[in-house]
Amino acid sequence: MTSELLSLIGNTPLVELARFSPKPGIRIFAKLEGQNPSGSVKDRIVLAMVEQAERNGVLKPGDTIVEASSGNTGIALAMVGKQKGYNVKVVIPRQVAPSIKDILDLYEAEVVWCEPVAGMKGAIDIAREEANADGHYLLGQFSDATNVQTHYHGTGREIVEALPDVDVFVAGIGTGGTVMGVGKRLRETNPDVRIIGVEPRLGEQVQGLRSLSEGFIPPLLELDQLDGRFLVDSAAAMETAHNVIRAEGVMAGASAGATLHAALRVAERMDKGNIVVMFSDGAWKYLPAQPWAAAAEGDESLDETHWW
Ligand SMILES: Cc1ncc(COP(=O)(O)O)c(C=O)c1O
């Protein structure tokens, strides 16, 4: 049975960012995933993957679940683990925003660091080794089709219900689960919808975001299903997130800044239409690092931190 806390996952608000409408015919809406109980979109897929494993009989209370994550999936898993009685071990790249470790510590999740050079691929390999060596369960957000299906049946359906008329959808690319699942659902309603994936500019390190050009293409991502890929740098993402917080009072996280920045560029070439952008988490966990101030000052250490 799903607990009261876990039943709060999903059904997040779709909120218009009226102050960011660049011309009268263009409206921009943000899907506020920071409203999920552990503060990000990842609550959705973690709950779905854990419950799938439970149905398959491969998990029982007291077991340990291992996952590679740049932060949010680990935090979501730690929260779901508390509710369902699992231990949690998270493999994260050493350059993640510092409060991610603090939050994982609060949730009593075990943290295994991996070196930044190993990238997400390295973290996934270590998670697999950890799981195999100790007989733990590997969650596997990068390869489990449940990830895409959860966004198709949940996030995508909710967007269509709230706004049947979506012309452009913009999401950041991590596992590719969001952009694939939501994109498929939106295309069923409007075959002309444009699905845009956002990634960091190569070499910019965009605060550690995953650039496909660096060599790791997430297995769930089908590039031919995207109508465009947009490259955003770290300072632009943080500056846009800062602007949303100041103009709308919406606590936009780093990747939300990146998606909105891309959406505004796309809007420049449109006369009218509705654009939906994913705000995959809120700004709260980034507060201690003050990346907004660092972006404004052109601080290069921004590029060494993994912001999503
Ligand atoms: C804040 C944030 N934005 C965007 C993404 C990318 O989402 P997906 O893994 O569905 O591609 C992630 C995933 O790690 C994330 O944590």
Same CATH fold assignment for domains 6-35+152-304 and 42-138 = yes
Mean pLDDT rounded to a whole number for the chain: 92
Annotated catalytic residue 234: no
- Is the pLDDT assigned to residue 48 strictly greater than 80? yes
**What is the arithmetic mean of pLDDT over 90-116?**
92
The confidence score (pLDDT) of residue 67 equals: 97
**What is the arithmetic mean of pLDDT over 141-149?**
97
- Is the pLDDT assigned to residue 205 strictly greater than 50? no
The confidence score (pLDDT) of residue 118 equals: 79
Closest CA to 71 of 54, 89, 92, 53: 92
CA of 208 to the centre of ligand 1 (A): 13
Residues with CB under 6 A from ligand 1: 40, 42, 70, 72, 172-179, 253, 255, 280-281, 308
Q: Among 122-131, 197-206, 224-233, which is the least confidently predicted range?
A: 197-206
* Ligand 1: nearest atom to the Cα of 72: 16
The confidence score (pLDDT) of residue 213 equals: 72
Domain limits of the chain?
6-35+152-304, 42-138
What's 6-35+152-304's CATH class? alpha beta
**What is the arithmetic mean of pLDDT over 68-89?**
96
**What is the arithmetic mean of pLDDT over 196-202?**
86
| Percentage of the residues of the chain whose pLDDT score is greater than 90 | 78
**What is the arithmetic mean of pLDDT over 223-247?**
94
Annotated catalytic residue 255: yes
Residue in the structure block whose two tokens are 């419950």: 51
Which among 101, 255, 280, 285 is annotated as catalytic? 255
Q: Among 25-34, 121-130, 136-145, which is the least confidently predicted range?
A: 121-130
Which among 31, 38, 40, 42 is annotated as catalytic? 42
**What is the arithmetic mean of pLDDT over 274-286?**
95
Radius of gyration of the chain (CA): 18
- Is the pLDDT assigned to residue 209 strictly greater than 60? no
The fold of 42-138 is Rossmann fold (3.40.50)
Burial of 39 (0-12, 13-18, 19+ CB in 10 A): buried
